[in-house]
Structure 1
Amino acid sequence: MEQVNEFLRRLKPRLTRALWFALALLFLIESWLWDHLRDGLRALERWLGVERLEAWLEGLVARLSPPMALVLFVGPIIAILPLKIAALALLAHGHILTGVAVILLAKMLALGVEAFLFDICRDKLLQMQWFARFYSIVLDVRAWASALVKPYKERLLEGLGRLRAYAASFLGGNSEILRKQIARLRALVKSRRAA
């Protein structure tokens, strides 16, 4: 029994570090998605030619009180709730891939719309002291998560650099040779299939 307790005592700090690292990584992934989905939504807005929607929303938010701007900001989270319930129903009925796909799609859509709306509502939302404090905490958590993950990210990038250098030396510094060899192999396979 003492051996088990000693093992658990030694394991606990490692598990704690792994948990915090996983949480930091999830937060950074969510943060990255926030930034990129917002940009994607803006690109979609330009592609559809509805840039005036953003100007209209900015005008609307300028007339709203800070609590009403919060209602507008939180709206998409509530709006996707039926999609998430439908996804859970799909999961319950054995449609695992479809259910997970619906959940991910709903999450990404809501995250993109939230990021888009936050840019528009930020000034109004930050007028509320509790929201300003919460926003400050989120920024602090983002900085903490970045600092926690940074050494691992640097090691990963160093490893990828070494792998690239190894591949370049293996190919003689010319990846064109490999591309031509693969093209020749594909042509050979196609000619044998045709025969």
Structure 2
Amino acid sequence: MRTLIALLAGGAALLGLAAAGSARTERAVPLPAARQDVPAASGTQTAVLAGGCFWGMEAVFEQVKGVKSVTAGYAGGTQATASYDQVSTEATHHAEAVKIVFDPHVVSYATLLRVYFSIAHDPTELNRQGPDTGPSYRSAIFPQSPRQAAVARAYLAQLGAAHAFSAPIVTRIETGSFYPAEAYHQRFYDRNPTHPYIVAWDKPKVAGFRAGFPQLARPPA
């Protein structure tokens, strides 16, 4: 994301990237369902996941049936440094993350993890995603309960044992609070459908989710 924003003065470069991105395709990695899950309870549950630029993560999880809201933000650092300018220095220990509020009777925590690993990001990329580099783009799960932590650890072990990816999974399980990002980052995909970064990187990801998980996808708006 910051890579592209830095090019805003170069219109030709942006147009070239958008044109190339419009032809990109992303496909969901076929993954087994998790053997363990968090039991459904009354009310909603919350998941916090980090996996690269939060624009794309937010866009994918907004497509999932049973998801009530998705908030872009920062996790892993302190409240004092939870701002885009500070996180961009790569010195705050924050990761760009999303907070997902969901109905566990419609979609479970383990199902969200399956989407997370399969298409929402690439869990084999260390401290980067696509064109974005740095620890703020790391792959990390921030469990909101001991049960979520146990399910996340078990699914990581399950995917590793199954050799689900051609490279090692580098996703970390971390602790830390979540802080919402600035208003201009929220629902960025929906509000900026022709933005070059969205066209190049996030629209293919959303299309990959809808093709790979049709049973989980909301009906088109």
TM-score range, shorter chain: under 0.3
Answer 1 or 2: which has greater strand percent.
2
Q: TM-score, normalised by structure 2?
A: 0.21
Larger Rg computed on CA atoms? 1
Larger RCO (alpha carbons 8 Å, 6+ apart): 2
Name whichever structure is richer in helix by fraction: 1
TM-score normalised to the size of structure 1? Answer: 0.23
